[in-house]
Amino acid sequence: MAEVVLYHHAQGLTEGVQAFADELRQAGHTVHTPDLYDGNTFDNLDDGIAYAKSIGFGKLLEAGVAYAQDLPENVVYAGFSMGVMPAQQLTQTRPGARGGLFFYSCLPVGEFSETWPAGVPVQIHGMDEDPWFTEEDGDLTSAQALVAANPTDAELFLYPGKSHLFADNSLSDYDAPAATLLTERTLTFLANLP
């Protein structure tokens, strides 16, 4: 079984993020869900992004990375959208990382280190028409570059649709078939970790 740190998206630690964490727990995994918003959640993405900007994305990233420092090294780092920032930094730079799960986002590898760490598996999930994910030179481009440079360690899964936070069952973006498949692939990833 794996130990996972799951970082929430810009709308906060919603009931849907917690429900996803509970699904992983039911499969026997230990899941930490740090709340970078101190209990604040938002009904729409624009309000959540405005709140994140008021705190500062850099401060949120620092808080997310700091949270993991008290955990064992052999952890899987996962993040939804904005939460991919600390998840990806920790996956790339913290010794002993077991893997990464990046939902709806992926940053250029060069943001955190020169190359992806050898032997560290990662999955990236997003919708093929989500403007947040597929914008030119954005997350999809970064994900494709990561997979191309690390074909044995990295996988990219694209789902049909335009929703961004599609696996959060507490939001209007929720897409049940895509969310079910994303969850199945996540559980398979965690079960197959060395």
The predicted model scores a pTM of: 0.97
- Per-domain boundaries in the chain: 3-191
The listed CATH number (3.40.50.1820, 3.40.50.2300, 3.30.365.10, 3.40.50.410) that belongs to domain 3-191? 3.40.50.1820
> In the numeric block, which tokens belong to residue 142?
């970064």
Q: Look at residue 23 and tell me whether its pLDDT is greater than 90.
A: yes
* Rounded Cα–Cα distance for residues 89 and 112 (Å): 6
The tokens of 129 are what?
């028409």
Q: What is the pLDDT of residue 194?
A: 85
pLDDT value of residue 125: 98
Tens digit of each residue's pLDDT (9 = 90 or more) over 25-47: 999 999 999 999 999 999 999 99
Residue 182: pLDDT band with limits 50, 70, 90: very high
* Interatomic CA distance for residues 73 and 63, integer angstroms: 17
